[in-house]
Amino acid sequence: MNRRFIIWALILAFISILLMFVPGFNALSFYFSMPIAAVLGMACGGLAVTVVSQTSDAFQAMRKTLIITSVLAAIPLIIASVGSLITGPCNYLYALGFYLMGPLVSAIFGAALGFAVGLLVPDSRIKGAIVPIIFAASFVPNLLDLYFQPAVFFFNPFLGYYPGPIYDDLIKISASYVTFRLFCLTLAIALVSFALILPDLLRKRRINKVWAVVFVVSVLATTIVGINAGNLGFRVTRNEVKSKLSSTVPSDYCEIHHSGGLDQSVTQRLLWECGYQHRRIANYFGLQAGDPIQVYLYPDVETKAKFMGARHVEISKPWLNEIHVTESVLGDFIFAHELAHVIAGRLAPGFLALPVRYHFLPDMAVVEGLAVAASFFNDGPSSHEWAIALILAEVKVDPVALFKPGVFISSGAGTAYTVVGSIVAWIGQRFGVQALQELARGNGFAAATGHELVDLVPMWRDFLDAEIKPTIDPHLIERARGRFADLGVLRRRCPTDVARALDMVDSAYRIGDLKAAQHHLEIARQYDPDLKALVRESIRVSACMNDEGTASMLTNLLNLKGGNPTPQDRLVAVDAWLLDAVPTDLLSPREQLLLALDDVKSGPEARAICVRLMALGLPQEQRQVIVKALISHGLDLALVSLQSAPSDLARYILARIGLWKGNFTKAATLFEDLYLKNWPSDEAPAVCQPLFDGQIALLGARAAFWMGDFALTKALLDSVDEGQFYGGEILTAQAYRDRIDVALQDNPSWIPSSHSVP
């Protein structure tokens, strides 16, 4: 017994110490607790069997088991706590909650199971194998649910809680998690009490009434909770999802399930868009459109998190021919991205409908590369342009390594998706659709192209250098340094703590409680003091509240005595000035904006600077409305004020919001008016004009298409000058021309009978 205990103690210590060298797992946290829970549950279960086998008295065995369980559970906790002292300052008490809910309950459950097995199974030759068998068997229902049901999360008595996508870092100790762990504890009590009373029952001896009552009560509690698992949120089936998304609209290509809150005109447009993307992507992979794809459309991220387990991550299950997405703007490439997973999956022969390695492990780099290549970026630079920009910006990335198992998932999402998407898209361009099909089938790069990946990457680099690099402006390289700075969720400081604090910030924004938002931002900054975005957001909230401390915060941010502030720093400083939250003599807003424009001359960042430059010329009340609309604090109130604002700048913002909210007629009318005026012309520096020319034309074309005015759509698209657009925007313009042709053939119901045809 002592030898086995020492072995398990050393194993737990070794794994815990090893995790201290893994980013994200190197402190007491949810990520640390999850793998430890499984190991600890197994250890306590196995040792409990041994203790009972070597102890004649059941209650003495119970005491020994509790002592052993406590000691083993303390080993990882102590090691992780030391790690927290080194890596902090994270929320130790909340992390301790994760440990109690995960490893500790797993240890108790495993010990109870082992205790029951030790008492009930007389054959010493097989009782030692029962706990490992039950451990493995406990994951079978989870795997079946992951495969057949919509949810990507699960609860397991040994593991605790598995949240699904690693990119979704908002992980809480939810009511569902607490309920499930109480379920595990009542089940553990039922196992122990059953093991104590069964021998007396079999021998027809008087049973201990206390343990009999405990058994009956625990079984009833376990049964009631288990039956209501769906209502309690720790096992969600398709029936629960469909009861929430009870409205269905079908077509030959897609079937959309939604909550009923969408306007019929929106659902009809979305249904047509789904059908268009289904056919376009199928053609990209050399296929015909197949069975209608099931689209589960959730009204908001919280509903999606409750029923799916993925809050800010869209999900596809190609083997089930379905995608799960949050309601989004029509034409959003994320929607096409998820459809691409399903359609590419039709080429994969395995039960997962995904390219795999070793017959079962999804090759996630290829999976995501195919989807990025098929859907492309539709709001700025293409994946090729971003790829060469991040390389020139010297962002650390090894394209070959990204395709190795585990590396892709643990890398920064922006960098990983961009690089693999560019490589796969180039393979399609260079080697044709058959190469894409071979990749989708999981046959590898050599079968697809005749070259190994290590040889393909230099060829891809040559393509980027020859075809894409000459078109890249140096400012895109600077943008790439900021865009791809994130090294991934697990490499951030206190990621789940920051995510929970920011979730509270969002909740405060929704009810207009800026004081609460500021409080939770301060908490987030304590967890990650080096995250400058939190400082900037805190200053904006402080400015909206007209807080006296805004000027001091701003001075520290800009380090006005010789610092080197970023364009984003200068932008937030001007926002505070426009909101009259800092003394007018603290800084020159125009000077700050022009300095920022020297650093950033392209993309949305440059447009944001130009918008502020134009706002400087407006009356005080109007410019405050503009800023509040831009930063989304007091947005509803700002929208009311914008309606009556006489400036073209206000109309531009209203047009963008109208497109975002699905008010296509208003958006198209406003964009067309601004386009005909050649806005902003004299309202902003000359460098700003080309930033808006192309964007207004493209956004106006999108709005015009969805309102059904194809003549206006084509007129605006024809004005697109490739020299003013990035590759993703050019592809988007081409896609809307293609949409016009397809829509004229389909003649969907959302096109007005009086629509204008080019």
What does the alpha-carbon distance between residue 648 and residue 38 come to, in Å, rounded to a whole number? 60
Report the 3 state secondary structure along 34-63.
HHHHHHHHHHHHHHHHHHHHHCCCHHHHHH
The pLDDT value recorded for residue 401 is: 94
| 8 Å CB contact between 267 and 306 | no
Q: Sign (positive/negative) of CA torsion 128, 134, 135, 136?
A: positive
Secondary structure (H, E, C), 166-215: CCCCCCCCCHHHHHHHHHHHHHHHHHHHHHHHHHHHHCCCCCCHHHHHHH
pLDDT digits (tens, 9 = 90+) for 115-168: 999 999 888 778 889 999 999 999 999 999 999 999 999 999 999 999 988 777
Distance CA 342, CA 324 (A): 11
Across the strands, what pairs with 247? 258
- pTM for the model stands at 0.90
Q: Which of 4, 159, 157 is nearest to 72 (CA)?
A: 4
- Amino acid 213: pLDDT: 92
* Strand 293-298, strand 322-326: pairing: parallel
Label residue 758 by pLDDT band (50, 70, 90).
Answer: low
Partner residues linked to 258 by β-bridges: 247
Reported confidence tier of residue 756, pLDDT bands at 50, 70, 90: low
Amino acid 408 reads: F
Q: What is the pLDDT of residues 25-54, one digit of tens each?
A: 899 999 999 999 999 999 999 999 999 988
Q: How confident is the model at residue 683 (pLDDT cuts 50, 70, 90)?
A: confident
Task: Tell me the C-alpha distance between 652 and 656, whole Å.
Answer: 6
The mean pLDDT value of the chain amounts to 89
**DSSP letter string, 639-653:** HHHHHH--SHHHHHH
Residue 114 has pLDDT above 90, yes or no: yes
In tens, the pLDDT along 187-202 reads 999 999 999 998 877 7
pLDDT of residue 657: 86
How far apart are the C-alpha atoms of 453 and 38, rounded to whole Å? 36
By C-alpha distance, which of 171, 188, 167, 183 is closest to 95? 171
pLDDT at 329 exceeding the cut of 80: no
Range scoring the smallest mean pLDDT among 437-441, 647-651, 708-712: 647-651
- Annotated domain spans of the chain: 2-236, 251-346, 356-488, 656-758
Q: Is the pLDDT at 562 greater than 60, yes or no? A: no
The answer for residues whose C-beta is within 8 angstroms of residue 142's C-beta and 6 or more apart is: 154, 156, 162
- Give the pLDDT mean for 685-694: 84
Q: Which helix (H) or strand (E) holds 317?
A: strand 315-317
Tokens in use for 295?
A: 């689209």
- In Å, how far are 590, 627, 649, 677 from 618, measured between CA atoms? 13, 11, 9, 19
pLDDT of residue 559: 74
For domain 251-346, which architecture applies?
3-Layer(aba) Sandwich (3.40)
Angle (deg, nearest 10), helices 727-746 and 710-718: 150
Residue 1, pLDDT > 70, answer: no
- Residue of 320 and 541 predicted with greater confidence: 320
The answer on pLDDT for 225 being more than 60 is yes
HSE-up of residue 300 (Cα within 13 Å, Cβ side): 3
Is a pLDDT exceeding 80 seen at residue 492? no
Top pLDDT among 333 and 81 is at 81
Burial class (CB in 10 A: 0-12, 13-18, 19+), 636: exposed
Please, which residues have CB within 8 angstroms of residue 7's CB and are 6 or more apart in sequence?
Answer: none
Q: What is the pLDDT of residues 698-729, one digit of tens each?
A: 999 999 999 999 999 999 998 776 556 788 88
Q: What confidence score (pLDDT) does residue 645 get? A: 64
Q: Which residues contact 714 (CB under 8 A, 6 or more apart)?
A: 701, 737, 740, 758
CA 562 to chain centre: 38
